[in-house]
Structure 1
Amino acid sequence: MSTQVLLAESAGFCMGVSLALGKLDKALENQTSQRIFTYGPIIHNPQVLEYYHGKGVKIIDNWDEPRPGDMVLIRAHGVPLQVEEKLREKNIDILDATCPKVKKAQLLIYKNSAVSDRLLIYGELDHPEVKGLLSYAQCEAFLFENMQEFKKIALAPKDRYCLVSQTTQDRQEFLSIASELKHSQGNEIITLDTICDATKDRQNETIKIAGQVECMFVVGGRNSGNTRRLYQVARKYCPRCLHIETKEEIDPEMVKGCSKVGLTAGASTPNSTIQSIYQYLHRIINSQDPSLTTRRS
């Protein structure tokens, strides 16, 4: 029996990640600064961060650390407004690598929260993008991670609400939340659809593939919000779903008896990692070598 491996075309770096890494690569190539820092991890992928660590790039979370003549690159997720202001007060080079979609969300929040009584943010409590989005709020803000948490928020009658989302959240759940809010009594609602198209397309393709396969692999950093979201979406349609970072985590027993295997990856997963896993899956599921079809030690 020949097993198919269905690889998502959308798997891998999104536009925002590619732009951020391109800026860092150019800074390293033309380095004139004493040192190059990123404020927080530039993206959420351990293998990529290890690569840049080897190039001398240091991750910081304190604006006091850089000295005059240093360069600080603002990560793809963005930083809180107050942090950026503190950095710009220093005699250092600032390179803003905030994803354009995240930057747009920040500015939309700043503008629309000024004419709202409450801001509702659908996102992860500890995610750096969300911390940045919250810093642009000009009214009271409520953060929730899912529909269940949203329903616990006591909506004040006749208040003006602004609903916004972290750019990598589950689009279907956001639409359900927006619909729930719309039907609340006596509230004026501003809905800002800030989930980026790349996230939407990646999730839709993941759903399509997961519905066709017996086993699904989602590749990316475990601290990557968009990768975790892909995993959550995929396992709704394929219960035999695994979130991995590298091919070393794959046990051949995972795909035993499968006729179709799915593979997708988060927005911060390098193509080299995806291809390595894709090729490895082909080897272990179609090889006649017994050593590749038994549990590895």
Structure 2
Amino acid sequence: MEVILAETAGFCMGVDMALTKLDHLVGEPDGHPIYILGPIIHNPQVLKRYAEKGVVMVHDPAEVPAGAHVVIRAHGITRQVEESLRARNVLIKDATCPRVKKAQLLIERNTADGGELLLYGEADHPEVAGLVSYAQGGHFVFGSSEELAGHALTPGKRYVLAAQTTQDRVQFESIAKDLAGRGDIEVAVLETICDATKLRQTEARDLAQNVDFMVVVGGYNSGNTRRLAQVVSEQGTPCKHVETVDELPLDELARYKRIGVTAGASTPRLLIDEVLAGLESL
């Protein structure tokens, strides 16, 4: 059996930066407790490791006491939450991915005249909550072109189209083309999808077309990992999304000659290596 690992598998720059900042706080304690607002990345194995080191995860900003450190995760937070934390003298360590921060500021600047934001993304994702908080003229979040079609657009009105940074660029460009073809509305299209996401998805598509089976490694609650599994499946290649090697159906996979492996942007290298070892043991 031949096992092929995608070059872009594993941590992206934003995730690596967020964990480096948290590691610095954990490694050099100053007596102030360390909090994170929700999971710093969408990987349960990583979160367990930090919990064992005393990092406290909360979902309500009010649970972070004044004087404590709070690390803003790679997904970012809403501007309202950030303002409330600063007002209570919480020590903020901003680990928002630079690509996400850029998208936030682009949305703020391009909706300053009241244009409505049309955001392609997952409505319940923390990154999306942060992005729409920067919209100045209202917003609508949609997860598919069909969902957008059900949203009434007012002729003559100005709209701003953007996307969650980890969305599928091919789908986004198709949506942008459809809106541009309407002619009765003005649409400004923002380039907010991360290049690393595009590269990872493109490589996954190409790899899927040249193997008999694909394994996608990463947290089940990781949006970019789920999309990797989706783009692979769209190629017609059998695919299995797993968090750890223990979830691999190794007996079933032994019949394949070429297996491709990729991983989400929040997947630690250790978990990827364990999957590779499991496959190579066949």
Does the 8 Å contact 2:209/2:237 carry over to 1?
A: no
In the alignment, the residues of structure 1 paired with residue 26 and residue 5 of structure 2 have an alpha-carbon distance, to the nearest angstrom, of 33
Provide the residue aligned with 2:124 in structure 1: 126
In the alignment, the residues of structure 2 paired with residue 254 and residue 195 of structure 1 have an alpha-carbon distance, to the nearest angstrom, of 36
Provide the residue aligned with 1:293 in structure 2: none
Provide the residue aligned with 2:22 in structure 1: 24
Provide the residue aligned with 1:42 in structure 2: 40
SS of the equivalent of 2:152 reads coil
Displacement of 1:91 after TM fit?
2.3
Q: Percent identity?
A: 50
Superposed, 1:268-283 pairs within 5 Å as 268-283=266-281
In the alignment, the residues of structure 1 paired with residue 178 and residue 168 of structure 2 have an alpha-carbon distance, to the nearest angstrom, of 16
Does the 8 Å contact 2:115/2:136 carry over to 1?
A: no
Say which is worse superposed, 120-129 or 69-78, in terms of deviation. Answer: 69-78
SS of the equivalent of 1:234 reads helix
2:249 is the counterpart of 1:251: yes
Superposed, 1:1-297 pairs within 5 Å as 3-284=1-282
In the alignment, the residues of structure 1 paired with residue 137 and residue 31 of structure 2 have an alpha-carbon distance, to the nearest angstrom, of 39
Extract unaligned runs of 5+ from structure 1: 285-297
Does the 8 Å contact 1:220/1:268 carry over to 2?
A: yes
Displacement of 1:116 after TM fit?
4.3
Extract unaligned runs of 5+ from structure 2: none
Deviation per CA, 1:170-191, whole angstroms, max 9, x where unpaired? 1100000000011012221110
Displacement of 1:156 after TM fit?
1.2
TM-score using structure 2 length: 0.97
Say which is worse superposed, 143-152 or 203-212, in terms of deviation. Answer: 143-152
Does the 8 Å contact 1:217/1:262 carry over to 2?
A: yes
**What is the identity, as a one-letter code, of the residue corresponding to 1:137?**
A
**What is the identity, as a one-letter code, of the residue corresponding to 1:57?**
V
Does the 8 Å contact 1:123/1:144 carry over to 2?
A: yes
In the alignment, the residues of structure 2 paired with residue 181 and residue 254 of structure 1 have an alpha-carbon distance, to the nearest angstrom, of 45
Displacement of 1:54 after TM fit?
0.6
Q: Would you say how many aligned residue pairs link Structure 1 and Structure 2?
A: 282
Displacement of 1:34 after TM fit?
2.3
Does the 8 Å contact 1:161/1:188 carry over to 2?
A: yes
Larger gyration radius, structure 1 or structure 2: 1
In the alignment, the residues of structure 2 paired with residue 91 and residue 236 of structure 1 have an alpha-carbon distance, to the nearest angstrom, of 48
Say which is worse superposed, 27-36 or 262-271, in terms of deviation. Answer: 27-36
Displacement of 1:82 after TM fit?
0.6
In the alignment, the residues of structure 2 paired with residue 124 and residue 161 of structure 1 have an alpha-carbon distance, to the nearest angstrom, of 19
Does the 8 Å contact 1:217/1:244 carry over to 2?
A: yes
Displacement of 1:65 after TM fit?
1.8
Displacement of 1:257 after TM fit?
2.1
Provide the residue aligned with 1:292 in structure 2: none
